[in-house]
């Protein structure tokens, strides 16, 4: 995925360096919503990103992973699985907390 005049998804994940599945889901939804301006975002679009991304394995249970990211970290809103959104907490996390700062 490399939209014209925008950072590619591969470059975006290299910059953000998410370290676990919950962070990966937040990064994917953020990129689809904020960079690609995709609306609505469904499980199909999110699954496609994972399938096309060489750096990550495809999730075995996409629905469960999305729900975990939503309920444990509040990064994404899955109240409507046909219109998945990044939350304010998720947007702030991706913008301001990734990549993780090295501990001293």
User: What's the confidence (pLDDT) of residue 104?
Assistant: 56
pLDDT for position 11: 94
Q: What is the pLDDT of residue 101?
A: 86
| Residue 40 confidence (pLDDT) | 97
Domains of the chain (ranges, CATH numbers): 9-97 (1.10.10.10)
Q: Where are the beta strands (DSSP E) in the chain?
A: 76-77, 85-86
For residue 40, how many other CB atoms are within 10 A of its CB? 13
Task: Look up residue 57 and give its DSSP letter.
Answer: P
Cβ contact 97:13 at 8 Å:
no
Tell me the two tokens of residue 58.
């495809």
Buried/exposed 63-78: b ≥16 CB within 10 Å, e otherwise: eebbeebbeebebbbb
CA distances from 2 to 35, 36, 44, 49, 93 (A): 10, 10, 18, 12, 23
Structure tokens at 102: 């090295």
Per-residue pLDDT of the chain (104 residues; tens, 9 = 90+): 666 778 999 999 999 999 999 999 999 999 999 999 999 999 999 999 999 999 999 999 999 999 999 999 999 999 999 999 999 999 999 999 999 987 65
């Amino acid at each position: 995925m490399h939209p014209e005049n925008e950072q590619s998804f591969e470059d975006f994940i290299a910059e953000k360096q998410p370290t676990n599945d919950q962070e990966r889901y937040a990064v994917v939804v953020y990129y689809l919503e904020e960079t690609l301006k995709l609306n609505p975002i469904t499980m199909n679009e999110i699954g496609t990103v994972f399938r096309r991304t060489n750096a990550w394995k495809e999730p075995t249970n996409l629905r469960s992973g999305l729900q975990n990211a939503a309920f444990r970290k509040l990064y994404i809103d899955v109240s409507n699985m046909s219109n998945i959104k990044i939350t304010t907490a998720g947007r702030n996390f991706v913008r301001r907390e990734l990549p993780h700062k090295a501990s001293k």
